[in-house]
A and B are shown apart, each in its own frame.
Chain A
């Protein structure tokens, strides 16, 4: 059973507009959340993260929002650029149950930004 879910396999956005990528999780013990970006033929690269004690973290064009009560987080990219076209993975850190802080990943959302 998936503990981290990205229900949209793909998203298409016009350049300059906002991209919103969503992620839901089931385990209330997750204490840290990360977003990774992956281009074809490359490994995932870290993009932005948020601690469970916060509800927002911003880094330039990228903002992550966390709604703990809904077990939901989202990544906002404003404005979107063609170079943002990639697969975005949501990941959660499981710091309990002997997992030693391993990350659990969602399946990813493929973002396409059209010029």
Chain B
């Protein structure tokens, strides 16, 4: 089945220690998104790639970076995690042109100690 895969599902990192979350897709979609979701909050878009074009949301902290080496993979790098970065991180994909639906992975729960 075509899907969006996120690894790991649970990640524990120390305060200030860089961490990378990964997302892969078998849907061959053009667009890949990263969202941050804190408890009882709406998913908040951090950035997205349309093909290789990177689009950063205005209020996404510089501490968050992303890489998309190819169509299938996208990475979220948190350079110096703070306690406030503990959250669920959701990856989503979309075909792009003509389709508005986004397809989500199961998420990675990040804990910062």
Contacts and interface: CB of A to CB of B under 8 A. Distances in A.
Interface of A: 2, 4, 9, 32, 34, 36, 41-46, 49, 89, 93, 100-108
Given A41-B106, A100-B55, A34 B41 contact: no
24 contacts: A4-B42, A36-B104, A42-B107, A43-B4, A43-B6, A43-B90, A43-B92, A43-B106, A43-B107, A44-B43, A44-B104, A45-B104, A46-B103, A49-B100, A49-B101, A100-B50, A102-B33, A102-B45, A103-B45, A103-B100, A104-B45, A107-B42, A108-B40, A108-B42
Contacts of A36: 104
A34 B102 CA distance: 10
Interface residues of B, number: 23
Contact of B42 (A32, A102, A106): A106
B88 to A, nearest CB: 9
Given A34-B100, A49-B101, A102 B106 contact: no
A42 B40 CA distance: 15
B68 interface: no
A46 B102 contact: yes
A70 to B, nearest CB: 21
B105 A43 contact: yes
B104 A43 contact: yes
Q: Which of B44, B50, B104 has the most CB of A within 10 A?
A: B104
B42 A103 contact: no
Contact of B41 (A44, A93, A104, A107): A107
A34 B9 CA distance: 26
Contacts of A49: 100-101
A103 B9 CA distance: 24
Q: Which of B6, B55, B102 has the most CB of A within 10 A?
A: B102
A49 B101 CA distance: 9
